[in-house]
Amino acid sequence: MSLEARVRLRRGTFELDVELAVEAGETVAVLGPNGCGKTTLLHALAGLIPIEEGRFTLDGVVLEDPAQGIAVSTEDRPVAVVFQNQLLFPHMSALDNVAFGLRCHGRPRAEARRIARTWLEGMGLGDRARARPGALSGGQGQRVALARALAVEPRLLLLDEPLAAVDVQGRAELRRDLRRHLASFGGVRLLVTHDPLEAFALADRVIVLERGHVVQTGTPAAVTARPRSRWVADLAGVNLFHGRADGNRVTLDDGGALVIPDRAAPAGDVFAAVHPRAIALLQAKPEGTPRNVWRGPIDEIDVEGPIARIRVSTVPPVIAEVTTAAVEALSLAPGQDVWVTIKATEIALYPG
Amino acid sequence: MNHTHERVPVAAALVAALGAALFILPLVGLLWKAPWGDLAGALREPEALMAMRLSLICSLAATAISIVLGLPLAWIQARAEFPGRSLLRALTLLPVVLPPVVGGVALLSVFGRRGLLGQFLDPLGIRLPFTTGGAILAETFVAMPFFVLSMEGVLSTLDRRLEDAARTLGADRWTVFRRITVPLVRPSVAAGAALAWARALGEFGATITFAGNFPGRTQTIPLAVYVQLENRPEAGLALSLVLLAVSLTILVIMRGRWLEAP
């Protein structure tokens, strides 16, 4: 079982152009900032928004192909959605919400309710079956929404920000439950989220979507180790530079240059990632081997417990991470000029 | 909005009081003239009883038809994209502003014996003018737009994502309409229906033009009031009080919905 999709559509000036393939038994997260088109993608796969170009097959069955004039309607797709705001039917009990899809799939009322009850019990909500959605907590509502989607036995399960509706306390528990239920669901699992923690906790593979286009795919570890966009770099908390490598020098797009070990990168476009811990701040100009040495004013100091993240307006601008003890020892303060150094061997280089 | 209350200029207050008196005085007059001593007796007269019974039947039937036909019409006007949609909406609105007597004439020209449809219906034995069915049709004609208008507003503000959610669970459009849309708008249906019912109950012009004034068949309360006022004013006043009481009751029940200060 697998999902293969190429989705192209325009909404006003926004263009979504995504290609993805997901195997059954695999959970893939589409990760991206707000407005990147991830919810639009999800709605397109569910058939709620028509695609203009592309093709969408599930287990080899074509669900949508505008070129061939094929567009299976939403209700006939073996696709279920857990929506961002749950979208439980407010006029039905939790039980009837779960039974609704079963009734639509032709199950008699009593049987639908019996199956729905089993699902609710599986979610630990057997005693909330008669409650209206308005009386459920965020976490309970999300479990009902999940039960409602899984009960129709879809072959593709789409989840839109599945943890967003839950407060921080309930989130860890819901995340654990969600992982368990996703693992026991045999179909294709695709979730979209803007929260990297959610993506990394639930997904085997991440697809990073920005401005309607895929910028990176891979395991969570691979994506954060080698970010390919500013947004991912910020998520991973690393400094990311892009430029052209030539010998032991990378000329950066946004000004400045990096010195790298000889033949560390082939000539051409490269990304260079530097962890903030690998950046040193000094009061006096350093002597000796480090060759990436710049001077600039401190922009901002952000203290989090024993660690301080310091933004320095050098060319290129960098974020360094030092201990708060070091901040005091060097008496660092915003506005003050400091020397910044990066060892060439601390720079991770990969093709851009 | 939380405006501080302004001081009211004296001149404006006087004019406003005059305006309010325009509504209030006739009510006071009606209550003052009412035959309180023999109200029950006046209402137990056969003509009054017949009129009340007929009014109840006709107005309820008109309301039921307005709901059954009006809900899909409102749904299409609120949701569907088709050429001529704004024209359809304008035509739906027309009976609200059209003088009812013109509505009656228009109905006659369609369902009259030589009317647009009447010429085909008459040979089949289907005659609407000057029948109870005609009275119901006339009341529906003037009342349904009120229902359609209020439902159209509700439907266009309904959270359509709930309907999308239902479709992803395998519900076809009819199931979505029946099990999601209708239950969600049910409270508003009641309010819209009450509005239409009040309008149907008071209908005069279209009914008397299209259905005539036959006691027991087409003489509803408003028609009876008009006729009785000539020869037996106390009966007319008593029936007027009945309509006033019904109107006030609807107003009280629906005040939360209609009188909410913006």
Q: What ipTM did this prediction achieve?
A: 0.80
Does the residue B149 lie in any domain? yes
CB contact under 8 A, B184 and A48: no
Q: Where are the domains of chain A?
A: 2-231, 237-351
Q: How many Å apart are CA A120 and CA B105, to the nearest integer? A: 61
CB contact under 8 A, A75 and B171: yes
pLDDT in tens, A129-143: 999 999 999 899 999
Nearest CA in chain B to A89: B162
pLDDT band at A268 (very low <50, low <70, confident <90, very high): confident
Q: Is A75 on the interface with B (CB under 8 A)?
A: yes
Q: Which residues is A304 bridged to in the sheet?
A: A307
CB contact under 8 A, B161 and A85: yes
Q: How many Å apart are CA A250 and CA B166, to the nearest integer? A: 54
Give one DSSP letter per residue of A206-229, joined into a string.
Answer: EEEEETTEEEEEE-HHHHHHS--S
Considering the domain A2-231 in this protein, what is its CATH number?
Answer: 3.40.50.300
CB A85 within 8 A of CB A163: no
What strands, in cross-sheet order, belong to the sheet with A279-282?
A279-282, A337-342, A292-304, A307-312, A318-323
Q: Which amino acid is at A197?
A: L
Q: How many Å apart are CA A287 and CA A242, to the nearest integer? A: 27
**CATH code at position B114:** 1.10.3720.10
Residues in chain B within 8 Å Cβ distance of A74: 164, 167-168
Q: What share of chain A is helix, strand, coil (3-state, %, to 5)?
A: 30, 35, 35
CB contact under 8 A, B184 and A101: no
**CB-closest option in B161, B169, B184 to A152:** B169
**CB-closest option in B170, B183, B184 to A101:** B170
Q: How many Å apart are CA A189 and CA A176, to the nearest integer? A: 16
What's the domain count of chain B? Answer: 1
Question: In the prediction, which pLDDT does B66 show?
Answer: 96
Helix axes B46-79, B182-201, angle to 10 degrees: 140
Residues of the domain holding B168: 45-256
CB contact under 8 A, A89 and B169: no
Q: Is A104 on the interface with B (CB under 8 A)?
A: yes
State pTM to two decimals. Answer: 0.74
pLDDT in tens, A69-92: 999 999 999 999 999 889 999 999
Residue pLDDT tens, chain B, 262 long:
455 677 888 899 999 999 999 999 999 999 998 888 888 888 888 888 999 999 999 999 999 999 999 999 998 998 888 899 999 999 998 999 999 999 999 999 999 988 999 999 988 988 899 999 999 999 999 999 999 998 998 888 888 899 999 999 999 999 999 999 989 988 888 889 999 999 999 999 999 999 999 999 999 999 999 998 888 888 889 999 999 999 988 888 887 665 554 3
Does the residue B59 lie in any domain? yes
Q: Is A322 helix (H, G, I), strand (E, B) or coil?
A: strand
Q: Which helix (H) or strand (E) holds A250?
A: strand A249-252
Q: Which amino acid is at A264?
A: A
Q: How many Å apart are CA A265 and CA A350, to the nearest integer? A: 7
Residue A40: how many CB atoms within 10 A of its CB? 21
Angle at A151 between CA A148 and CA A153, to 5 degrees: 130
Question: In the prediction, which pLDDT does B235 show?
Answer: 87
Is pLDDT above 50 for A296?
yes
Question: In the prediction, which pLDDT does A166 show?
Answer: 84
Mean pLDDT of chain A: 90
Distance set, CA B198 to CA A38, A97, A219 (Å): 50, 37, 66
Q: How many Å apart are CA B236 and CA B234, to the nearest integer? A: 5
Distance set, CA B204 to CA A304, B65, B102 (Å): 78, 19, 12
Q: How many Å apart are CA A230 and CA B212, to the nearest integer? A: 79
Q: How many Å apart are CA A334 and CA A298, to the nearest integer? A: 5
Average pLDDT over residues A309-317: 90
Distance set, CA A158 to CA A83, A145, A184, A293, B236 (Å): 8, 12, 15, 48, 67
- State how far residue A21 is from chain B, nearest Cα, in angstroms: 21
The CATH architecture that domain A237-351 belongs to is Beta Barrel (2.40)
Question: In the prediction, which pLDDT does B257 show?
Answer: 64
| Residue among A44, A42, A56, A33 at smallest CA distance from A10 | A44
CB contact under 8 A, B165 and A79: no
Residue tagged 């029946």 (tokens): B178
